[in-house]
A and B are shown apart, each in its own frame.
Chain A
């Protein structure tokens, strides 16, 4: 077992296979580092910045940084928690997230992080942007009001030839995640389900399935996000 690395998170001694990404390595050691854009089996992309930790005085994303032997990682420090909370707040104010009316409420990772960080009201003014809903595909709805641009659908939903169903469009404040017109039309039910599962929020919904699971029985209704990770 020569490729095991010893490292510390907030002073706690940990061990994992060298080269594993910090988020995974921490999880194996019972430490939860929150994520939004990260997804098992997909190359991490460091888009949401929620997993920000500090290593050697530098801010790094725990989902993209591999652990090394002797690494000392700061994670649950007040200033880092504030950065994470402020990112969650930013995502709330820059979209239109009306949780009580959202089909994904209770299964939404953004909402769950809002609870985790006890966000009462965001410190930033709401932007109330004008966004559209694309319901042109037979099986799915792409609601731009709720999209947090995490790229999970872009990276994980592909056809047999490896082509992406989703892609970014534009850049900066005009950035959007859009569905391919041609592929969207021929998308089958199974792919639609996969797309919905890839979405951490309520931006991709399978038509007529939004409330299949009653509110109150959903993933984060009883247990806060990260509670499956135990020290």
Chain B
């Protein structure tokens, strides 16, 4: 054990900023992070043990206890639950003989839940020792567990055909499907890698690249929609010895999976986009921050990077341009939605708990290791290549005035053809539902849990920054779904678990509001509870980052658009109900002393 840890420490130069990589390697090689390893890390990195544990305990995929020879992480998102999570879960439990959250006595199998893992178009899905298994059924589960008992390697458990597209490449070999159902300028196949670097950058100054980006009016594709050209310009102008280009591939918003597909099908485009950005802002180092759920792409993406280096599209004097040095490395998260927030991402990159930073200062001034940094979404970088290829003016012909270009949507839920669709901005919801074969629709969750839940009265609305803004997650719910119980409550639990916990508002209010929602779902609600929910949500606006600021959205938007569902659950004859259940409250003590609760003695 000691030698393994020492070896890993050496590999990363005992650099505290690389604590995430160090912990991931330890977790993968030893199956957990033992106490002795923490001692060693603390001693060698000049940290206290609690400080090392601070990082470990923040991330879902780190554990200080063994997680089993086969660690099974089953996705429990709202979409997974729509497509059979329950029966898959039950089968895993009965076959393995343990409950979720446990490891079998022989140390063979560990069962754990995990938040949306970017497979909403092929649920139920699970991660088993970094390999992704999709479209699970009870039969498949029985077979998988049987093979585990026979001691087969994880690769041997994958007896299905590989997914479509590049998922079949030898360096990827994954069951995952890309499900590309509509191609546009980004997912299209008419681009030859390196064209922009070799034929455009050679003739353009960095300022000219930024000018084209600004002219295109492209706004970030990660959700917040900040103008990309401006971000690059701010960063170029910030003082610093070094600048960084970070690609945000954390993709944690439930229901989104398009970054996974872009990175599978068009990784060269994204990496070239990062190089273009590096050229524009004057940076020589890029980092792809990839969520751990996508660890199965590691070898494949490294192969792509190596290939690009061979062609001098990365490395020194790229395309013969004097002084244009740029290379990319991949660093991983370890299971934390909030790390998609750009400043939390930077903290995570520096080996810390993924807690968002206070702004100002913004990352363009003080980012990774305190240096000027741009953080952009996977899709934004891909799009940048096309903008520099064809010019900002060309780009503005797609989409609408305030939302130029195309958007790649991740569509899942109750429809015939879940998958990835590249459409022009300005597409309306009605057309979208017809496009994907959604016949009967009760509601659509636009933009994931942090977005809005809309009903049929709003299906005429269009996708764009001034109407329905979205990072691309679209979840469709048919009439058979219980929106409040299976969707809204699930989303609230997601926020409670994924909050970094730093803000008093986000840490506590999500819980308080969820308790109230649960009270209503239990039939104990009264009308004033709805008013409370509405007014309490306001305090969340005082939270530090977008997670807290939007964490009440599932409740607020369903209250607005599906108020009748709440009203149907309220008690008609009551104005007040504290929601206190005396019988349930005394149950534990009654059990202990062997009494039966009796409240009818008056």
Measuring CB to CB, which residues of chain A are less than 8 angstroms from any residue of chain B? Answer: 44-50, 52, 59, 61, 64-66, 79, 83, 86-87, 90-91, 93-94, 123-125, 127, 148-149, 151, 159, 161-175, 178-183
| 8 A-B contacts (beta carbon < 8 Å) | A49-B544, A90-B505, A93-B508, A125-B578, A148-B504, A159-B48, A171-B498, A173-B497
Q: How far is the CA of A146 from the CA of B268 in the complex (A)?
A: 52
CB distance from B494 to the nearest CB of A (A): 10
Q: Does B578 contact A165, Cβ atoms closer than 8 Å?
A: no
CA distance A46 to B359 in the complex (A): 10
CA distance A94 to B515 in the complex (A): 12
Contacting residue for A83 out of B57, B338, B542, CB 8 A: B542
Cα-based distance from A159 to B42 in the complex (angstroms) = 14
**Beyond A169-B50, A173-B499, A175-B502, 7 extra complex contacts between A and B, CB < 8 Å:** A49-B505, A49-B543, A87-B542, A127-B511, A161-B46, A178-B53, A182-B49
Q: How far is the CB of A2 from chain B (nearest CB, A)?
A: 20
Known: A49-B503, A91-B504, A182-B48. A173 touches B496 (CB 8 A): yes
Partner of B539, one of A44, A47, A86, A170: A86
Q: How many Å from the CB of A105 to the closest CB on chain B?
A: 21
Judge whether A180 and B54 touch: CB under 8 Å.
Answer: no
Contacts A48-B504, A49-B504, A175-B501: A94 and B53 contacting too (C-beta < 8 A)?
no
A163 CB contact (under 8 Å) in B48, B353, B511, B542: B48
- Chain A, residue nearest B46 (CB): A161
B201 at the interface (CB under 8 A from A): no
Is B304 part of the contact surface with A, judged by Cβ < 8 Å?
no
B170 at the interface (CB under 8 A from A): no
Given contacts A94-B511, A148-B504, contact A178 B542 (CB under 8 A): no
Chain B residues whose CB sits within 8 angstroms of the CB of A164 once the complex forms? 47-48, 50-51
Within the assembled complex, what's the spacing in Å between the Cα atoms of A125 and B541? 21
Report the bound CA distance from A78 to B18 in whole Å: 46
A178/B505 contact (C-beta < 8 A), A83-B542, A86-B539 known: no
**Number of residues of chain B lying within 8 A (CB) of chain A:** 42
**B542–A169 CB distance below 8 A:** no
Q: Would A170 and B50 count as touching, CB distance under 8 A?
A: no
Residues of A within 8 A of B496 (CB): 172-173
Separation of A172 and B542 alpha carbons in the complex (Å)? 17
The answer to whether A167 touches B508 (Cβ under 8 A) is no
- Of chain A, the residue at the smallest CB distance from B495 is A172
| Chain B interface (Cβ < 8 Å from any Cβ of A) | 46-51, 53-54, 57-58, 336, 338, 353, 358, 360, 496-505, 507-512, 515, 532, 536, 538-539, 541-544, 578-579
Give every chain B residue within 8 A of A148 (Cβ-Cβ): 504
Contacts A61-B358, A83-B538, A149-B502 known; A167 to B53 CB distance under 8 Å?
A: yes
Most chain-B CB neighbours within 10 Å: which of A44, A90, A178, A181? A90
Check B512 against A124 for contact (C-beta < 8 Å). yes
Closest B residue to A158 by CB, please name it. Answer: B48
Q: Which residues of A contact B46 (CB under 8 A)?
A: 161-163
Is the CB–CB distance between B542 and A52 below 8 Å? yes
A49 x B497 contact (CB < 8 A): no
CA–CA, A141 to B381, complex, Å?
Answer: 51
Q: When the two chains form the complex, which single residue of B50, B504, B509 contacts A167, counting CB atoms closer than 8 Å?
A: B50
In the complex, what distance in Å separates the CA atom of A151 from the CA atom of B512? 22
Q: Residues of B contacting A93 with CB < 8 Å? A: 508, 512
A90 and B499 contact, CB distance less than 8 A: no
In-complex Cβ contact of B544 among A46, A86, A171 (8 A) = A46
B51 contacts across to A, CB distance below 8 A: 163-164, 167, 180
Interface pairs A-B: 3 shortest CB-CB:
A175-B501, A167-B50, A167-B54
Distance from A121 Cβ to chain B, minimum over Cβ atoms (Å): 12
Q: Which of A45, A167, A168 contacts B501 (CB 8 A)?
A: A168
When C-beta atoms are compared, the residue in chain A nearest to B353 turns out to be A168
CB distance B58 to A171 under 8 Å?
A: yes
> Is B507 in contact with A175, judged by CB distance below 8 angstroms?
yes
CA A133 to CA B414, docked complex, whole Å: 49
Among A48, A49, A125, chain B packs the most CB atoms within 10 A around the CB of: A49
* A151–B500 CA distance with the chains assembled, in angstroms: 13
- CB of B50 within 8 A of CB of A125, answer no
* B41 CB to nearest A CB, Å: 13
Nearest chain B CB to A222's CB is how many angstroms away?
A: 28
> Which of B336, B502, B532 is within 8 Å of A47, CB to CB?
B502
Whole-angstrom distance between the Cβ of A20 and the nearest chain B Cβ: 14
Q: Which partner residue on chain B sits nearest A49 by CB separation?
A: B542
Task: Using CB atoms, name the residue of chain B closest to A122.
Answer: B512
Q: Which of A47, A66, A159, A164 lies at the interface centre, i.e. has the most chain B CB atoms within 10 A of its CB?
A: A47
A171 and B512 contact, CB distance less than 8 A: no
Interchain CB contact under 8 A, B497 and A170: no
Query: CB distance B358 to A168 under 8 Å?
Result: no
Q: Smallest distance from the beta carbon of A49 to chain B beta carbons, Å?
A: 5
Cα distance A188–B538 in the bound complex, in angstroms: 44
Q: How far is the CA of A103 from the CA of B129 in the complex (A)?
A: 50
Known: A52-B542, A83-B542. A179 touches B501 (CB 8 A): no
Residue in A closest to B505 when the chains form the complex, CB atoms: A49
Cβ-defined contact, B507 with A172, below 8 A:
yes
Chain A neighbourhood of B53, CB < 8 A: 167, 169, 178
CB-contact partner of B508 in A90, A161, A171, A180, under 8 A = A90
Q: Report the bound CA distance from A197 to B503 in whole Å.
A: 22
Distance, CA A148 to CA B50, complexed state (A): 18
Instruction: Flag if B497 contacts A172 (CB, 8 Å).
Output: yes
Min distance, Cβ B520 to any Cβ of chain A, angstroms: 13
Question: Judging by beta carbons under 8 Å apart, are B47 and A87 in contact?
Answer: no
The interface residues of chain A lying within 8 Å CB-to-CB of B532 are 123
Instruction: Write out the residue numbers on chain B whose beta carbons fall within 8 Å of the beta carbon of A52.
Output: 542
For B504, the chain A residues whose CB sits under 8 A away are 47-50, 87, 90-91, 148-149
Measured CA separation A90–B542 after assembly (Å) = 13
Docked Cα-Cα span, A174 to B507, in Å, equals 9
Contacts of A48 in B (CB 8 A): 503-504
Q: Which residue of B lies closest to A84 (CB)?
A: B542
Does A179 lie within 8 Å of B50, measured CB to CB? yes
A183 to B51, CA, bound (A): 11
